[in-house]
Amino acid sequence: MSNVPALLLSALVVISSSGAPARRPNPPSQEQPPRSEPDLTRPLRWLLRAQGEDGGWGTEAGSPADVATTSLSGIALLRLARQGQAESLAEPTRRALLYVVRAVERAPAPDAYIQPEGTQPQRKLGRGIDTFLAAQFLGEAIPGMPAGNDRERARTALDRVVAKIQLLQKDDGSFAKDGWAPVLSSAFAARGLYVAKDAGAAVASKSLAKSEEYMLRGYDKEKKAFRTDDAAGVALYQAAGSLDAAARSGRMAEAPAQAARAHLEDEAFVRGFGSYGGEEHVSYLLSTEAFAKSGGEDWTKWSKSIRTRLANIQREDGTWRGDHCITSTSFCTAASLITLAIRPGGLPVNRG
């Protein structure tokens, strides 16, 4: 992985004794141009240092770990490993995987959840987000694991979470109605099932089809607008979920995907809630996966846009943190690293 220049230092604001910003004596002749490429070295270093002794990640370094944040962080390590970091990331990825496997093994079979209630991701994305992200992490990890006890435990854990996810699916095809933005939770549930199926797990085609229809119904063709009742009133979240579902089901030519692509060219729309939280970061992840599937000019335009956006909201220590709702440094940094690791050709399409 090549190093990217560090963030430009923010200009210092001198504060007068009255508390009001003082006039700068020598203002620069012109503003610095926006950065176009994020730094990957520092956020990855931060994420590795923030991993707990148990292999998990919590909201911040030193916070109690949770399955959702650990799974998202583990996925980030897997994706970055494919770009030349495999040897250095193998052990932290294994520790993260075993953290999730142990959580699944502790969860009673009839129970759909694998994490005790009360985490930040659950409050914002719904009670089942740990189960959904665990399925994606396990499904992405298993194909590259050597034969042995770890792989067998991971495969058993994947079968268990698939059963739990399908147990949670509603009649309308969604998987969650709780939390602040449950449509994103449903999007990750579907992603977990897609990835699990690719890894060899038994996933019901009917469950995937119902999920696709739910996500694509999030666009109202008559009003030419995305519904926001399951998206905390933020159309970005529904658009990202709809676009992801369209890409995975090969329906990018249909109205929901076309509308999402058009809306994602609008700066105000892409700002989502108006400030950057974990919900925005995972919406960018979902959208980037979908654009990568299409490739071509749309991918080139979106990739440049989202990389510039992430470069300019990157913190001085290289991380990303949320300004609302999911404020977790670990969650936002992991989601952004995944987004930056996505390349065309890496998104499987559901074949039924």
The answer to whether residue 347 is domain-embedded is no
Question: Tens of pLDDT along 288-310?
Answer: 999 999 899 999 999 999 999 99
| CA distance linking residue 261 with residue 284, whole number of Å | 12
Q: Is residue 35 part of a domain?
A: no
Nearest 10 degrees: Cα torsion 65, 60, 343, 275? 130
Domain presence at residue 133: yes
Domain for residue 32, yes or no? no
Q: Is pLDDT of 327 > 50?
A: yes
Q: CA 165, CA 10: separation in Å to the nearest integer?
A: 45
pTM of the model as a whole: 0.88
What is residue 28's predicted lDDT score, i.e. its pLDDT?
Answer: 42
Expressed as residue numbers, the domain containing 89 is 41-341
With respect to residue 17, please indicate whether it lies within any of the assigned structural domains: no
In a domain, 315, yes or no: yes
pLDDT at 108 over 90: no
30, part of any domain:
no
Q: How many CB atoms lie within 10 A of CB 82?
A: 14
Q: What was the pLDDT predicted at 238?
A: 98
87 confidence band (pLDDT: 50, 70, 90)? low
- Looking at the predicted structure, is the pLDDT value of residue 285 above 50? yes
pLDDT-derived band of residue 153, with 50, 70 and 90 as boundaries? very high
Query: For residue 15, what pLDDT is reported?
Result: 27
Range 218-229 average pLDDT: 97
pLDDT in the model for residue 17:
30
SS3 47: helix
The reported pLDDT for the residue numbered 125 is 97
Q: How far is CA 310 from the centre of its chain?
A: 14
Per-residue confidence band for 34, with pLDDT thresholds at 50, 70 and 90 = low
Whether residue 185 is contained in a domain is answered as yes
Total domain count, the chain: 1
**CATH, residue 52:** 1.50.10.20
Q: How far apart are CA 12 and CA 28, in angstroms?
A: 12
